[in-house]
Amino acid sequence: MSLCAYYREMTDPLISYLSGFISPERFERMKTVLSRRTEYLTVVLEDLHYSQNGSAVIRHCDAFGIQNLHVIENSNRFKVKNHAVRGTLKWIHLNRFNEGHNNSRTAVEKLKSDGYRIIATSPLAGGAAPGTFDLSAGPAALFFGNERDGLSREILDHADGYIQIPMEGFVESLNISASCAIILSRLGSRLRESDLSWQLPEKKYKELLVEWLKDSIKKIDYVMKDYPN
């Protein structure tokens, strides 16, 4: 049995209990989506100016199966436009770096300690294209800079590699939302077609399934009172 099939078939008392409060179709949809989720790739946004771009990236992460989104808030607070996100934020994890003097450095150090390569998305010459980027070298944190200045020197100096979208016209770069969608779509497709261990570990899969179930059930506090601990 494949890992994906195993996750779909495994049982857990709490999951079994909670699944009885939603439709079977909804439950199957959750399991299918989770079976395609990954933490092998993660997205990092540095100091975005415009909330609509951040909101669009949230939707892109959900659409392309990226579970974790990190935001660095040095000068600009990351704001979410609810009408643009349309409820997708509850399906991914949003992590903020905003408590220090140099939040970019903190983000780099944290993600490196978690085993990620720091990959700067930049139009600089020499960056790999999404179709040739080496996924087998290990998990990658994809850093996107703000709309005016791009990525900071802090990120560029500590990057383990670069990725860029080949351009055939006169423009040198795309809007951050468009760039993110293109890169995630291409890398995500290549990752899921590979032999790499990109799926969520069993423990994480079950934790997220419980989280999603609870978020989908009305009056969950009352529902949990009747759960036999």
pLDDT digits (tens, 9 = 90+) for 51-70: 888 899 999 999 999 999 99
pLDDT digits (tens, 9 = 90+) for 101-124: 899 999 999 999 999 999 999 877
Give dist(CA 200, CA 196) in Å, integer: 12
Helix/strand/coil for 218: coil
DSSP state of 151: S
CATH number for the domain spanning 97: value is 3.40.1280.10
User: Is the confidence at residue 173, as pLDDT, over 80?
Assistant: no
Mean pLDDT of 191-195: 97
User: How do strand 161-163 and strand 41-46 relate by DSSP bridges?
Assistant: unpaired
pLDDT at 146: 86
For residue 18, tell me if it sits in a domain. Answer: no
Give dist(CA 218, CA 227) in Å, integer: 15
Highest mean pLDDT among 5-19, 32-46, 65-79, 114-128: 32-46
In percent, the amount of the chain with pLDDT more than 90 equals: 69
Give dist(CA 150, CA 47) in Å, integer: 9
For residue 213, tell me if it sits in a domain. Answer: yes
Q: How would residue 1 be classed by pLDDT, with cut points 50, 70 and 90?
A: very low
For residue 68, tell me if it sits in a domain. Answer: yes
pTM of the complete model beyond 0.75 = yes
The number of domains in the chain is 1
Mean pLDDT of 147-152: 85
Residue numbers of the domain that contains 180: 45-218
